[in-house]
């Protein structure tokens, strides 16, 4: 039972922030979305989703999980982190 609760809590921690942000994106602007119409609203949402996937892939090339976890600072000999040479990343 503890394992189930652990995984349930982990899933909630992963998805709840996104769900709350989605709620704040939709509900305050419900008049705008209704005025825009279903097709255009869905097209806009899918376009934003595709753009976020592209940005996520570009960012993840340079900002890896080990960097976010602080491994280069804790063990620089086993997790070297090269300094970025250009910005924005190509």
Domain boundaries, the chain: 1-29, 37-76
C-alpha–C-alpha distance, residues 81 and 75, integer Å = 10
**Is residue 44 a contact partner of residue 37, using CB atoms and an 8 Å limit?**
no
- Decide if pLDDT at 87 tops 70: no
C-alpha–C-alpha distance, residues 47 and 5, integer Å = 36
Q: What is the mean pLDDT of residues 70-84?
A: 77
- Decide if pLDDT at 58 tops 60: yes
**Is residue 80 a contact partner of residue 72, using CB atoms and an 8 Å limit?**
yes
Look up tokens 């040479």; give the residue: 85
- Decide if pLDDT at 60 tops 80: no
Residue 31 is encoded by which pair of tokens? 């008049």
């Amino acid at each position: 039972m503890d394992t189930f609760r652990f995984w349930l809590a982990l899933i909630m921690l992963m998805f709840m922030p996104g769900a709350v942000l989605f709620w704040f994106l939709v509900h305050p602007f419900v008049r705008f979305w209704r005025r825009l119409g279903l097709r255009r609203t869905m097209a806009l949402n899918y376009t934003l989703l595709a753009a976020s996937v592209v940005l996520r892939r570009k960012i993840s090339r340079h900002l890896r999980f080990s960097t976010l976890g602080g491994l280069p600072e804790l063990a620089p000999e086993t997790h070297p982190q090269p300094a970025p040479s250009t910005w924005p990343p190509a």
